Amino acid sequence: MAELSGYFIGLMSGTSLDGIDAVIVRLDSEATAAEQSTRLELIDSISQPLPTELRQQILQLTQPGDNEIELLGQVDVAFSRLQAEIVNQLLQQSGIKPEQIRAIGSHGQTLRHRPEQPIPFTLQVGDPNTLAEATGICVVADVRRRDLAAGGQGAPLVPAFHAQLFRHPEHQRAIVNIGGMANVTLLPADASSPVIGYDTGPGNVLLDSWIQRHQQQPFDRNGDWAGSGRCDQQLLQQLLSLDYFRQPAPKSTGREQFNIDWLDQQLSLQSLSLRPEDVQATLLEFSARTIADALQQHQPGPSQLFVCGGGAHNQLLMLRLQNLLPKITLSSTATLGLEPDWVEACAFAWLAQRCLAQLPGNLPAVTGARGERILGGIYPA
């Protein structure tokens, strides 16, 4: 087993397309298969919005369209150059040298995630060769596709990390990441019980798209705009009737399912036209309900819920979640010592360590893969 304590960088850019999050963490040396917990110290972090043009191009590539291969090739490299700039900025800001970093764990930017097709695939861009070349640091990338090749969903991958970091021997805990999509991780107190984890459905993605269209704001700060409207029960019930919510896990989803065109179709089935703020209020309730319903499906249910991802800052969403789950103590992962904005990026730093240590990164019970697999490809410094 390689000696693998040291600094790792994690790079995360999720379905919200809000930007790239980067962290430097220090991970402890004892990465063994039997290990039940990881020691992680967050050293420094940075977040950069995506430039408008690149964001537009990525958005374009998430839907079928013209000239895809040419655009894909360009976005792949352009995105990794931006990743490299952010890494170099982070290094400068922290005073840590590239040689001190063992590896960068790069998620890349998902363009398509289609685990349910007859020929399933998931596609992330962000060329690891360019990133390694421009930073001088070893890169671990392409972490989803091995799990998919082994019959899994390739997602969500973070529950394994949540289990390493946040499991408690006495409390049933749940972690909910509210990014573009939302995913839950249930961490039974009993170490012999399997961890459960899957995507519950939309997190912020529909809220973001709707406010961008009607208010020209990137997102609904604190849920204020949603709070000015009223949830429409008929629309809510219609959204909740989607098959996805009744499908058993393992399951994962993305912009292929939850996007503004889908929302427009749903709205066109409504007999009355709703005020935009009422639609926003309904979308907020939709995210809260699908998360809460998922958590209530499992027995014994969690007694503690910790939220991470940008949605943790949406006060109205947090309030609705707490109201729907009155018996559960709700807080953000900051209570556990890790700020909600950096959990996902830390998970990718950890996945890089797992890959270098030749240890599995997936939880087959979560992704549905045939077995544990070492995830990712290594692009040496």
Ligand X SMILES: Nc1ncnc2c1ncn2[C@@H]1O[C@H](COP(=O)(O)OP(=O)(O)OP(=O)(O)O)[C@@H](O)[C@H]1O
Q: In 115-138, which positions are buried (b, 16+ CB within 10 angstroms) versus exposed (e)?
A: beeeeeebbbbbbbebbbebbebb
- Tell me if 14 is assigned to a ligand binding site: yes
The entry of ligand X, Mg ion, none near residue 220 (CB within 5 to 8 angstroms by kind) is ligand X
Shortest Cβ distance from residue 351 to ligand X (Å)? 13
| 137 assigned to a ligand binding site | no
In this complex, which beta carbon is closest to ligand X, that of residue 221 or of residue 275? 221
Q: Is 14 an interacting residue with respect to Mg ion (CB under 5 A)?
A: yes
265 class by beta-carbon count within 10 Å (0-12 exposed, 13-18 middle, 19+ buried): exposed
Q: How far is the CB of 345 from Mg ion (least distance, A)?
A: 9
Is 131 in contact with 87 (CB distance < 8 Å)? yes
CA–CA dist 30, 102 (Å, integer) = 15
Question: 311 vs 368, which CB is nearer to ligand X?
Answer: 311
Residue among 361, 350, 376 nearest 26 (CA)? 350
Q: Which amino acid is at 154?
A: G
152 binds Mg ion (CB under 5 A): no
Q: Which pair of tokens denotes residue 53? A: 């043009």
Minimum CB separation of residue 18 from Mg ion in Å reads 4
Least gap, CB of 329 to Mg ion (angstroms): 26
DSSP 84: H
Query: Taking CB within 5 to 8 Å according to partner kind, which of Mg ion, ligand X, none is near residue 232?
Result: none
Residues in the chain, total: 381
Partner whose binding site includes residue 180, from Mg ion, ligand X, none (CB under 5 to 8 Å by kind): ligand X
Known binding residue 16? Answer is: yes
Report, in Å, the least distance between residue 14 CB and Mg ion: 4
- One DSSP character per residue, 304-331 reads EEEEESGGGG-HHHHHHHHHH-TTSEEE
Whichever of 4 and 294 has its CB closer to ligand X, that residue is: 294
The reply to whether 147 sits in an annotated binding site is no
Residues that bind ligand X (CB under 6 A): 14-16, 18, 177, 179-181, 204, 208, 219-223, 309-311, 313-314, 344
**Count of other CB atoms within 10 angstroms of residue 88:** 15
Nearer to Mg ion, 18 or 220 (CB): 18
- Using CB under 5 A as the binding rule, whether residue 18 contacts Mg ion is answered as yes
147 touches, from Mg ion, ligand X, none (C-beta below 5 to 8 Å by class): none
Q: What is the smallest separation between the CB atom of 13 and ligand X, expressed in angstroms?
A: 6
Q: HSE on the CB side for 119, CA within 13 Å?
A: 1
Using an 8 Å Cβ cutoff, are 209 and 259 in contact? yes
- Pick out the residues of the known binding site for ATP: 14-21
Which residues of this chain interact with Mg ion, rule CB under 5 A? 14, 16, 18
